[in-house]
């Protein structure tokens, strides 16, 4: 692992971005967000087939660094951090949050910016804004109920309850829960399945699903039907055919 606040590894069509403050349980501050934003903007120039977000050491992310928060942590625009999570959410390839250990509050908000969440059985996930007298600004009040439903989101936020991997899976907060020693293999296998498919198709599906979530059923059906007919470019080139 490098000294970078967010480390990057590219292998077999998969880019892994690793939050790299293991001594602080990968707590977030403006430097981490600046590095993450820089990586996402650079990757947008040559999009990988799959993007994995994880944390170094024993935790995914314990949340916002409260020391930095108390000192007036700010970067770029007023909503730099929230906009970075938005950028992750809209990134034009499938994204996976690879979660072990703590995934709390701001860390959970960051994970919820990913398409798929994979957690270990012993992971600890929760929204603890209320414990610290804070309110969410990175999307928790929208993305958490999208995941688990409104009443469950209210309960989690109002109690600051931490839940383990199996409970998170039962609630629908994560998509897969795996044994602690099986996380690397599980995420590698999931990413490999994604990489094996057309990146063009996956990118189009990601946009269509995003549109469905925001535009309503009738408009989403119309948007799908307005797509160009034929094969995405990457498949067309492989088969020596042109779409259309």
Which CATH class for the 6-196 domain?
alpha beta
For the segment 181-232, what is each residue's pLDDT rounded down to a tens digit? Answer: 999 999 999 999 999 999 999 999 999 999 888 888 888 888 888 876 667 7
Q: Which tops the pLDDT comparison, 129 or 76?
A: 129
How high is the pLDDT of residue 229? 61
Tell me how far apart the alpha carbons of residues 179 and 165 are, in angstroms, rounded to a whole number.
9
How high is the pLDDT of residue 243? 43
As to burial, measured by CB atoms within 10 angstroms (0-12 exposed, 13-18 middle, 19+ buried), residue 115 is buried
Instruction: Tell me the average pLDDT across 152-171.
Output: 98
How high is the pLDDT of residue 41? 97
DSSP β-bridge partners for residue 9: 16
Q: Which of 199, 232, 19, 188 has the alpha carbon at shortest distance from 92?
A: 199
239 pLDDT more than 70: no
CA dihedral 160, 118, 203, 221 (to 10 degrees): -60
* Contact present, 98 and 118 (Cβ < 8 Å): yes
Q: Which tops the pLDDT comparison, 242 or 84?
A: 84
Q: In what order do the strands lie in the sheet with 162-163?
A: 102-104, 124-126, 162-163
How high is the pLDDT of residue 71? 52
**pTM reported for the whole predicted model:** 0.92
242 pLDDT more than 50: no
How high is the pLDDT of residue 235? 65
* Contact present, 1 and 7 (Cβ < 8 Å): yes
Confidence class for position 238, pLDDT limits 50, 70, 90: low
Tell me how far apart the alpha carbons of residues 87 and 221 are, in angstroms, rounded to a whole number.
25
């Amino acid at each position: 692992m490098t000294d970078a606040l967010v480390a990057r590894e590219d292998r077999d069509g998969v880019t892994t971005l690793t939050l790299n403050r293991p001594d602080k349980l990968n707590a977030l501050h403006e430097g981490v967000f600046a590095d993450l934003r820089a990586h996402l903007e650079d990757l947008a120039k040559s999009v990988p087939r799959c993007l994995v977000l994880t944390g170094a050491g024993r935790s995914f992310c314990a949340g916002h660094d409260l020391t930095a928060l108390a000192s007036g942590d700010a970067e770029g625009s007023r909503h730099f951090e929230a906009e970075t999570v938005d950028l992750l959410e809209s990134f034009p390839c499938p994204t996976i949050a690879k979660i072990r250990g703590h995934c709390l509050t701001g860390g959970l908000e960051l994970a919820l910016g990913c398409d798929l969440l994979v957690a270990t059985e012993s992971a600890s996930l929760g929204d603890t804004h209320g414990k610290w007298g804070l309110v969410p600004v990175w999307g928790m009040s929208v993305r958490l109920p999208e995941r688990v439903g409104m009443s469950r989101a209210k309960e989690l936020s109002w109690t600051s309850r931490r839940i383990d991997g199996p409970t998170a899976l039962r609630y629908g907060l994560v998509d897969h829960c795996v044994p602690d020693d099986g996380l690397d293999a599980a995420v590698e296998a999931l990413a490999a399945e994604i990489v094996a498919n057309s990146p063009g198709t996956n990118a189009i599906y990601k946009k269509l699903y995003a549109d469905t979530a925001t535009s309503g059923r009738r408009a989403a059906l119309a948007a799908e039907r307005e797509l160009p007919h034929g094969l995405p470019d990457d498949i067309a080139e492989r088969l020596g055919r042109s779409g259309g």
